[in-house]
Structure 1
Amino acid sequence: MSILQSLRPGGRHGVASTETRDPIGYAVAALSRLAQSDMLDRLGLRKQTETAVYSATRGGFKTTAAAGRAFAKTGKSGSPGTRPTATAAPGVFDLTPSEDEQLLVDVVTELAAEVLRPAAAEADETCVAPEAVLKAGLDVGLPILGLPESLGGITEERSAVAGALVAEALAHGDLGLAVASLAPGSVATAIGLWGSDAQQQTYLAAFADGAVPAAAIALSEPTVLFDVLAPGTTAVRTEDGYVLNGLKSAVPRGSDAELFVVGALLDGAPVLFLVESGTAGLHIEADPAMGVRAAGLTRLHLCDVTVPADAVLGATDGTTYAECVRLSRLAWCALGVGVGQAVLDYVTPYVKEREAFGEPVAHRQSVAFMVANIAIELQAMRLLTWKAASRAAAGEDFARNVALARQLCADKGMQIGLDGVQLLGGHGFVKEHPVERWYRDLRSIGIMEGAVLI
């Protein structure tokens, strides 16, 4: 039975049938289909419609954040929440996935192949993740992957390795749709790792039931030479809480998100804050980028946004924020490995079947060596990423490991994308083949901060 046949709406991880797709997505998708119709030429409306499609995709929208649901404040304020236990170290260097991890990877791999990959091209064009793709991710339990059973999750131990494996498998289908699918679960994971008892009781119940809220981690900012550990967004203490001001960029699914984890500078240290979408002063603007377009990237404007004192997530000395950055970079490394594997899997049969001068181009040493280099660098990226994830899961210091993985994945990921386009020749430059999209997506590995974590 395929994964599409096994997914059941209304189950533990299903979504309510009353959910609606982002109206901007509908509008852009409708305009895109209309632009392909011959009727426009007969009516003389071709130029006007194509201009509308371009404007909708490029300019997007600017609106007040969605009101979202009202999260009921429960739990003991100020008391520490439940923390996932560290994974027991086996005592040997063995990164082979466990039986449960391999089973999860098999399910997600089928999801990526049957659901994400077919929807990737249109989602990239419209900058909107289809509702069917998001629902399929909910049905397999992506939002609660990083939560322990005590908080409504599916594992007893911290699952950083499983998270890396899932991110890699999803990105093999499409990076943008993988980010859109993983963003809500990343917020749930962050609350599970650092949230107080009150925060966990207030928010995590929504991720464990059927109506999972859209949510995202907002760390990036549209500034030159941006340093994620020194954000320009500021938080000022007041008698009742904090006031946030600043601008965040590359926030996935911001138009329909109901909860954000926002990074801001408080008393000279970077701190994470939980901000609900209905908070006054929060505005959303479309932020379509070169890659990761299917994630529906947006900008988050914070203009005198007032949050209560218990909105702080984790410590205020910068340690929680730094760990969030590392786990986010680890997630992007895993995503980069998945896209790189997609490139290798696509170009290998292509160069064997494509003929030039009476023989397959794979017979040329320059071509064969380029494909071999992709495989070599990809395996190095994967091993560094898995090693960093295993140390994170065991509760060990993984700062050096994730720094090495990020540097390698950023550099070699871009090279893999470039070589993939080069191996396809002229075909690599056109949208008939997905390699040009993967090339654009791979550029994000060394740039994106936040959005997802494992």
Structure 2
Amino acid sequence: MSDREPQAVEPQPVERHLPTEESRDLMALVRDIARREIAPRAAAEEEAGHFPRETFSLLSGSGLLGLAYPAEFGGGEQPYEVYLQVLEELAAVRLTVGLGVSVHTLACHALAGYGTKEQKAEHLPAMLGGGLLGAYCLSEPSAGSDAASLRTKAVRDGDDWVLTGTKAWITHGGVADFCTVLARTGGEGAHGITAFLVPGDAEGLSAAAPEKKMGMKGSPTAQLHFDGVRVPDARRLGDEGQGFSIALSALDSGRLGIAACAVGVAQAALDEAVSYATGRRQFGRPIADFQGLRFLLADMATQVEAGRALYLAAARLRDAGLPFSRQAAMAKLFCTDAAMRVTTDAVQVLGGYGYTADFPAERYFREAKVLQIVEGTNQIQRMVIARHLAGPESR
């Protein structure tokens, strides 16, 4: 941090409403790990493009990579309301870590929700607490928002399936230990897609060079090439042709993860802006005393609180077993748009310093943008919400 940084009061931790003593202890553990192990190295490692595999190993050993899944298979059996607040805390110190946990959780969804008892017993314990890290392989170079048009094929060959094709924009591409892969096993459209659990070191599976991104440089995003990758039928998840519905159910939950990460980034930007504004003096007093800055900070704080309330409300519906797809799309849309606004305003509060790498505001600004794109662009979220309100558009 630059020696030009003004002195200010340290931001207070977010006051959280956690339902049990266990969840409160869990949050204390997360905050301790975030403060001691992640925050001190976050800026330098992001700038260097360092993937923090050791951090994910620590999180796995601490039981934080399987929070949303059953204890029977090594998970934390925490409600989504708690899990998402953990994601927010992690994303606030380093989005690469928070979003990485969200993607890993997404990669476990198909097995946990649709696998057989035998499949779960064989694979889930290592995935949830054995140090493994997952990737979720749905998007392709020609199938992004139109995921039902994916072209990666899986052809039956005796007791195996042979996968051929390319997946794109894969978080943890090239470093993941396992991949949940959606591939076409039947005709065109959504009904010909099946899900598979593919080992990260499978023969014929390779990763392209990571994409050069404007933010989240420590999180590798790469194409994955499947060149005749052979997968036993015992690693098929769910029924043949059920893959697209499995993918959609995973994305509903994944969108809440992105919403929580967005609130974490926005909270970090707000904290930085408040700290700077209360420490920076102009015209003989802190700039936070000027009404223009006070109102800007108030609007930023309101966006953060509203986003948090929205994702938690959706999480409580999910925890209660109620439909939450519309609310998940709303949370993803609102929280990520709010993160973009709040981080933009944080740069403005810091003025020229906000545009320099001496302060983290510019990193938050660059990172917020990707959250409006991943797990379905915000234009797609508006389509999902409108479909729930008015039904599918007529042709």
Alignment TM class, shorter chain as reference: 0.7 to 0.9
Distance 2:274 2:119 in 1: 48
Q: C-alpha distance in 1, partners of 2:124/2:311?
A: 28
User: Does 2:72 align with 1:150?
Assistant: yes
Amino acid paired to 2:232: P
Please state if 1:245 is matched with 2:164: yes
Matched, 1:282 2:200: no
> TM-score if structure 1 supplies the norm length?
0.72
Q: What's the offset of the Cα at 1:259? A: 0.7
- Return closer, same or farther for 1:226/1:152 CA change in 2, 3 Å cut-off: closer
- Structure 2 unaligned residues grouped into runs of 5+: 1-15, 377-395
Indicate the residue corresponding to 2:19 in structure 1. 98
Distance 1:181 1:128, change over 3 A: farther
Amino acid at match of 1:207: M
Give, in angstroms, the shift of residue 294 of structure 1: 1.8
- Whether 1:107 and 2:26 are equivalent positions in the alignment is no
Q: Cα–Cα, structure 1 residues 281 and 179, in superposed 2: closer, same or farther, change >3 Å?
A: same
Question: What's the secondary structure of 2:174's corresponding residue?
Answer: coil
Q: 1:383 to 1:228 in 2, by over 3 A?
A: farther
Give the superposition deviation at 1:333: 0.5
In the TM superposition, what whole-angstrom CA distance separates every residue of 1:198-227 from its partner, at most 9, and x where no partner exists? 321221232355x4222221233445x831
| Structure 1 consecutive aligned stretches of length 4 or more whose deviation exceeds 6 Å | none
Partner residue, 1:294: 218
- Paired letter, 2:203: A
Which whole-Å deviations, capped at 9, do the CAs of 1:314-343 have from their partners, x for residues lacking one? 353332111111111111111101111111
**Which structure 1 segments of 5+ residues have no match?**
1-94
How far residue 184 of structure 1 moved from its aligned partner, in angstroms, is 3.9
Q: 1:161-215 CA deviation, whole Å, 9 max, x = no partner?
A: 2221110111111101223355445434442222222321221232355x42222
2:330 corresponds, among 386, 398, 404, to 404
- Superposed CA offset, 1:373-420 (max 9, x none): 111111111111111111112221101101111111222111111111
1:426 shift after superposition: 0.8
Closer, same or farther: CA 159–361 of 1 in aligned 2, 3 Å? same
Is the alpha carbon distance of 1:207 and 1:275 closer, same or farther for their aligned partners in structure 2, counting shifts above 3 Å?
closer
Following TM superposition, by how much is the alpha carbon of 1:363 offset from its aligned partner in structure 2, in angstroms?
Answer: 2.4
RCO higher in structure (CA 8 A, sep ≥6): 1
The equivalent of 2:84 in structure 1 is 164
Q: Do structure 1's residue 178 and structure 2's residue 103 form an aligned pair?
A: no
Distance 1:204 1:236 in 2: 23
State the SS of the aligned residue for 2:148: coil
Match of 2:42 among 111, 120, 125: 120
Q: CA deviation at 1:154?
A: 2.9
- Please give the root-mean-square deviation of Cα atoms over the aligned residues, in Å: 2.3
Matched, 1:235 2:153: yes
**2:282 is aligned with 1:356:** yes
Provide the secondary structure at the position in 2 that maps to 1:143: coil
Cα distance in 2 between the residues matched to 1:195 and 1:438: 38
> Does the alignment pair 1:417 with 2:339?
no
What is aligned with 2:318?
Answer: 392
SS, match of residue 306 in structure 2: helix
If the length of structure 2 is used for normalisation, what is the TM-score?
A: 0.82
Larger mean CA deviation between 310-319 and 378-387 belongs to 310-319
SS of 2:164's partner is strand
Alpha-carbon separation, structure 1, partners of 2:201 and 2:26: 35
2:111 counterpart residue number: 191
Any conservation in 2 of the 1:410–1:445 contact (CA below 8 Å)?
A: yes
Offset, 1:357: 2.8
Tell me if the contact between 1:232 and 1:264 (Cα under 8 Å) persists in the aligned partners. Answer: yes
Q: Could you tell me how far 1:430 is from its partner in structure 2?
A: 1.0
The answer to whether the Cα contact below 8 Å between 2:165 and 2:225 also exists between their aligned partners in 1 is yes
How many residue pairs align between the two structures?
Answer: 352
